[in-house]
Amino acid sequence: MPSLPDESARQTLLRSFLAEDIGTGDITTDATVSGTQRARGELIAKTPLVLAGIDIFAEVFQLIEPATLAEICCPDGEYLQPGQIPARITATARTLLTGERVALNLLQRLCGVATMTRKFVQAVAGTSAEILDTRKTTPGLRALEKYAVEIGGGRNHRKDLSEAILIKDNHIRLAGGVATALSAAQAAKGQVKWLEIEVTNLEELSAALQYNPDVIMLDNMNPALVHEAVKRVWAHDPERKIRTEASGGITITNVRDFAEAGVDWISVGALTHSAPAADLSFEIEPII
């Protein structure tokens, strides 16, 4: 099951976001709303979306006021329709007003990532291909965005540079070629979860296969060329221990073509760098 960052890391992150937004104080709220006024906020889905980050949403308010009451009505991963209420938050009115922007910004971002991921996953349903994210994440939000990808049904690629070796075009160019780069990388293979290399044509693929990397990324190839490349990998490796990954130029309209070409993984940077924020509102009413 997808898991959020640990509590300490999560709260450090959320406190920094609150500090950025609040500055020296919420002057408008403090000037217009009584400190004793209680209120309840209803979170409302405005468009269809996949819910992701609802506990983070509530936690923002709880960091401002530990006595905040959160009624979570829907779990992460649920597909919401317009008008559905996934959560109600009860606290002082000042807490709700001060925390709403940070809480909403985060939730809308994470729901947007999860919703886009779900669309890609559904587009390849029935094939053996898995949808993966990339490191094209928002600085500071990687752990949360990758959590949202998993909630949407996708899988995480590398969480950071230390998890796996991924030899890309610039590495190849600077190392002096595919063979040279892969040969040099063998010494570090035992330190990582997998060794992967990016190739852009069949000649580079042939060179890469001589070293039997764990994963071969077929970068910026059209589906027909990807299909040919996959066949060559299977011919070289009948037991299919080498995984293939399509990357570059993947859209919601062509992703199934890549999946049907036979790859194991399809990495999509757009899941995190181009997902539109989901539309939710937070309506606050006083408790008399």
Residues with a catalytic annotation lie at 101, 136, 168, 198, 219
Nearest CA among 101, 94, 102 for reference residue 38? 94
**What is residue 201's three-state secondary structure?**
coil
In this structure, the number of other CB atoms found within 10 A of the CB of residue 247 comes to: 23
211 vs 230: CA distance, rounded Å: 16
Q: In a 10 Å sphere around its CB, with 0-12 CB exposed, 13-18 middle and 19+ buried, how is residue 64 labelled?
A: buried
Nearest CA among 15, 10, 52, 35 for reference residue 97? 35
The owner of tokens 């709260």 is 11
**What is residue 79's three-state secondary structure?**
strand
Q: In a 10 Å sphere around its CB, with 0-12 CB exposed, 13-18 middle and 19+ buried, how is residue 2 labelled?
A: middle
The answer to whether 244 and 218 have CB atoms below 8 angstroms apart is yes
Instruction: Find the helix packing angle between 54-64 and 7-22, rounded to 10°.
Output: 60
- Paired with 267 in beta bridges are 132, 247
220 vs 222: CA distance, rounded Å: 7
